Amino acid sequence: MSNSAVRVSPLFLGLVGLTVLGGVLATLENNAARVGGVVLIVLGGWATSLCLHEFGHAITAFRGGDWSVRAKGYLTLDPRRYTDPVLSIVLPLIFVALGGIPLPGGAVWINHHALRSRRTESMVSLAGPLMNLVLGLLISTAVAIVPMPTGLAAGLSYLAFLQVIAFVLNILPIPGLDGYGAIEPWLSAPARRFGEKARPWAPLVLFLLLIGVPYVGQAFFGLAYFVFDLVGGDTLHSYLGQGMFRSIFGFL
């Protein structure tokens, strides 16, 4: 097997570097530089987390018996490997830029027949959202214990909140989302056939409900803030980070 199948992609390292650059800018006194830094933290950090989310699926599948993920380049963290760059990276980033709910990003194609058990299939589906939850926890912990300038704390806190939103959204047991993928192996054949039919449009219906029905959106964000509190998230800094992030797009 070629080493290129497992080597970390330079594009992924570039996304990490962009996020780090944002962190440096967010510590400056100049307001424009600080706001620009928050934007880079959020956009670069979110793109990085999309890659890590899909890597979580892939590495769990690899350990569970699907060795084809290595040949497909899924273990390189290369954003180009996770389906279409526009649908997987650009559109989710646009939704984040608009201040909305971050869409699920890419997808890795798993050979489920190669996986050792239904439990393994469930773990493969759960690995992506759990990666977001761990990232949210780690970022929130860093903000809580490491003294840092307000701009940096705000940008990181908003990024952490986006990770929690991604976890809560993806863990829902709705066809097309990872939460459904976790329970699908345990469903009856008729239920799985229905899920296959619902998979293309069920997430769209969910997003329309979240955006168009106030009570649904309030319940969703209420749950997200509850989980954010559980991981030690800083709500005030998250609000500040969101405000700084959206201001550069002219929404304030």
Distance CA 212, CA 94 (A): 19
Choose, from 29, 54, 184, 196, the residue flagged as catalytic: 54
Q: Does 184 participate in catalysis according to the annotation?
A: no
Residue 244: CB atoms within 10 Å: 25
Q: Is 89 within 8 Å of 67 (Cβ atoms)?
A: no
Q: Is 157 within 8 Å of 241 (Cβ atoms)?
A: yes
Q: Which residues are catalytic?
A: 54
